[in-house]
Amino acid sequence: MRGCMAGTLSVALSTFRECTRDAVFYVALVSFTGLIFLAGQATYFGLGREAEMVREMGLATIAMGGLFLLLISGTATLASDFRTGALMTVMSKPVRRNELVLGKFSGIMLVLSAATAVLTVMFLCMLWLREGRFPFLPGNEPYGTEPFAFRALKAALLIFLELGILTGFAVFMTLLTSRPAAAVISFAAFTLGHLSGGLAAALRRSGSAAGEVAASLLPNLEFFRVTQATVEGRPPIGAGYLLLGAAYAASGAGIFLLSAMLVFRRREIQ
């Protein structure tokens, strides 16, 4: 067990260093940080809802930044190993194939956690500069809710959990297809996951058992999008909702990682 954890940790740290040495990582962070501050300076014609719209744009930018880095790092890390032959160096060490898949996934998640944390901090700093009030302090929050910064941290955690499912899927697709195809399919899965609510409702309206089963199996990534609750403060995002999101993300990512391990076990390394 200790050897398995050591091998996974070694691959994870190696993947994290590989991704963070890439200039694309820092360009993406700077670019999305600039978009966050640009959103704070923009003028919206929201009939008195400018503050809410700025917060919504900031949360959306955090999510898009994580997705962009996932499509770059998540699909590149395994693909580059196969293309350059670096995988042979890794596999010559006492690292099992399952450990390699878990390590790559964990390394990508470390990258995304760092990126999500940086963008969230930049978002809160932008609000501090724009509103002139530390966002962790209580203020004129609607309905007597907790300070916005605490709600934003919960929203960022749910964004990170959503990225966990998408990372597992991206690693799985990278082992099945080429890097460009994996990136396109992963983005399509992200889009479908946020549009699945309407499709599931249509399937349930059919009244058939097959439609009900199909609706239940559709991914529901909209579960992790709590922008309205974060901005308006209601309904509150409690610990139970966060735990349910963590369980959902763990099960989804676990299914894709197990599938990736099965595919990788049968794949020849050249």
Does residue 45 carry a pLDDT above 70?
Answer: no
Residue 103 CA to residue 8 CA, distance in Å, equals: 4
Compute the Cα dihedral for 52, 54, 56, 59 and give only its sign. negative
Residues 6+ apart with CB under 8 A from 110: 12, 15, 16
Asked if residue 56 lies in contact with residue 231, where contact means CB atoms within 8 angstroms, the answer is: yes
The separation between CA 255 and the C-alpha centre of its own chain, rounded to angstroms, equals: 16
Does residue 46 carry a pLDDT above 60?
Answer: no
The separation between CA 217 and the C-alpha centre of its own chain, rounded to angstroms, equals: 20
- pLDDT mean over 84-111: 77
Residues 6+ apart with CB under 8 A from 92: none
Give the range among 30-34, 117-121, 220-224, 232-236 with minimum mean pLDDT.
232-236
Q: In the prediction, which pLDDT does 66 show?
A: 93
Does residue 238 carry a pLDDT above 80?
Answer: yes
pLDDT in tens, 2-23: 555 777 888 888 888 888 888 8
**Tokens standing for residue 68:** 């962009």
Residue 73 CA to residue 39 CA, distance in Å, equals: 26
Residue type at position 179: R
3-state secondary structure of 73: helix
Q: Enumerate the domain spans of the chain.
A: 2-266
Give the rounded percent of residues in the chain with a pLDDT score beyond 70: 76
Q: Which long-range contacts (CB under 8 A, 24 or more apart) does 94-98 make?
A: 94/3, 94/7, 95/7, 95/10, 95/11, 96/4, 96/7, 97/261, 97/264, 97/265, 98/261, 98/264, 98/265
pLDDT bin (cut points 50, 70, 90) of residue 221 is: confident
Asked if residue 237 lies in contact with residue 262, where contact means CB atoms within 8 angstroms, the answer is: no
Does residue 249 carry a pLDDT above 90?
Answer: yes
Asked if residue 32 lies in contact with residue 68, where contact means CB atoms within 8 angstroms, the answer is: yes
The dihedral formed by the CA atoms of 76, 81, 83 and 88, expressed in degrees to the nearest 10: -170
pLDDT in tens, 147-171: 788 888 999 999 999 999 999 999 9
